[in-house]
Amino acid sequence: MYSKIVGTGSYLPEKILTNADLEKLVDTNDEWIRSRTGIERRHVVADNETTCDLAEHAARRAMSAAGINADEVDLIIIGTTTPDQLFPNVGCLLQQRLGIGGPPAIQIEAACSSFIYALSIADKFIRLGDAKCALVIGAECLTRLIDWSDRSTCVLFGDGAGAVILKPSAQPGIISTHLHADGKYSDLLYYPTGPSKKFNPTVACQTAIQMKGSEVFKVAVTKLGGIVDETLAANNLDKSAIDWLVPHQANMRIIQAIAKKLELPMERVIVTVHNQGNTSAASVPLALDTGVRDGRIKPGSLILLEAFGGGFTWGSALIRL
């Protein structure tokens, strides 16, 4: 028994923030942002929108693509770093919207790797026979965690959501997943506060993402390169077998480095970072849905998904659509 993706969906909030808009906020410029990151614009949630709103749109589109009704879903796993509230988790809030009660609703937080983690867990539920129709989501309002006066982070992130429906299959859909984390890097990329931490007035910047960008960059390229090798070796595959790379969309230069390692031309890589920035947990399912809906990714394609994020966490999934 395997699991297989039978429908994808995604959603981006309406409001667009261009590099030119950011030039008015901080000491930056379009040329720097494009050449260092590949980003040209990003979508930003409206004041009254939340992660659950974005997740709901993406979930409904994935269910429609899969041709299923909400009451068929018997497992919800949502990856997010930006839940609407501490509890109930976003999966429970989403159940209310979708009018389904009863199935487990799980929220995973592994920063930008959250969707790959969620997909890996949902795959195991299905292969063990514990679920027959899983709704797996990556949804994020990361712009809510930004200090809009910090040019080193505010130009990078965007908001959005992506979702897939997983069902049992006799043929491998999710072929293998590979998850890692190493907490020794926790001071390179983090959000400083949480509910169990007492507010400390002597610490500056407690309410915005903190990142040592160039150090994160180096570890990301190394770990993602390693997980590509690990995924190919686990499946006894040569890199030439991969049809499509659907990478985490943090930085065009990281994406190009992994494509080069796989000897894949950029025409075989789904790139959305220029339009969306880094949408964290949403970036991989958003890119997957983009490639599926515009017809580039065809049924039967062998696809490598990968992500890297705060923690550090990183992971991959080898899938056949």
Of 43, 178, 248, 275, which is the active-site residue?
A: 248
**Among 106, 134, 220, 292, interactor with ligand UT7 by CB under 6 A:** 220
Q: How far apart are the C-alpha atoms of 245 and 290, rounded to whole Å?
A: 13
Of 112, 133, 141, 154, which is the active-site residue?
A: 112
**Among 143, 177, 275, 278, interactor with ligand UT7 by CB under 6 A:** 278
Question: Is residue 112 part of the contact set for ligand UT7 (CB under 6 A)?
Answer: yes
Q: Would you say 51 and 90 are in contact if contact means Cβ atoms under 8 Å apart?
A: yes
* Tally of residues, the chain: 321
Question: Is residue 28 part of the contact set for ligand UT7 (CB under 6 A)?
Answer: yes
112 is an active site residue: yes
Q: How far apart are the C-alpha atoms of 280 and 308, rounded to whole Å?
A: 9
248 is an active site residue: yes
The CB-of-182 to ligand UT7 minimum distance in angstroms stands at 14
Residue nearer to ligand UT7 on the CB measure, 25 or 203? 25
* Count of residues of this chain found to bind ligand UT7 when the rule CB under 6 A is applied: 20
**Among 68, 72, 152, 234, interactor with ligand UT7 by CB under 6 A:** 152
Residue nearer to ligand UT7 on the CB measure, 22 or 292? 22
Q: How far apart are the C-alpha atoms of 131 and 84, rounded to whole Å?
A: 26
Question: Is residue 113 part of the contact set for ligand UT7 (CB under 6 A)?
Answer: no
Part of the chain binding ligand UT7 (CB under 6 A), chosen from 32-40, 116-124, 131-139, 297-305? 32-40
CA atoms 56, 58, 62, 65: torsion sign: positive
Within 10 angstroms of residue 289's Cβ, the number of other Cβ atoms is 28
Radius of gyration of the chain (CA): 18
Q: Where are the beta strands (DSSP E) in the chain?
A: 2-11, 15-18, 41-44, 75-79, 105-108, 134-141, 159-169, 174-181, 189-190, 210-211, 244-247, 302-309, 313-320
Closest-approach residue to ligand UT7 (CB): 213
Part of the chain binding ligand UT7 (CB under 6 A), chosen from 89-97, 136-144, 214-222, 258-266? 214-222
Q: How far apart are the C-alpha atoms of 121 and 123, rounded to whole Å?
A: 5
Q: How far apart are the C-alpha atoms of 78 and 225, rounded to whole Å?
A: 26
Question: Is residue 32 part of the contact set for ligand UT7 (CB under 6 A)?
Answer: yes
The CB-of-26 to ligand UT7 minimum distance in angstroms stands at 7
What is the CB-side half-sphere exposure of residue 158 using CA atoms within 13 A? 32
**Among 251, 272, 279, 290, interactor with ligand UT7 by CB under 6 A:** 251
Could you please report the per-residue DSSP string of 267-285? GGB---HHHH-B-GGGHHH
The CB-of-28 to ligand UT7 minimum distance in angstroms stands at 3
Question: Is residue 151 part of the contact set for ligand UT7 (CB under 6 A)?
Answer: yes
274 is an active site residue: no
Beta-bridge partners for 302: 320
**Among 88, 213, 225, 226, interactor with ligand UT7 by CB under 6 A:** 213
Instruction: Give the footprint of ligand UT7 on this chain (CB under 6 A).
Output: 28, 32-33, 36-37, 112, 151-152, 155, 213-214, 216-217, 220, 250-251, 254, 278, 308-309
Residues annotated as catalytic (active site), given as ranges? 112, 248, 278
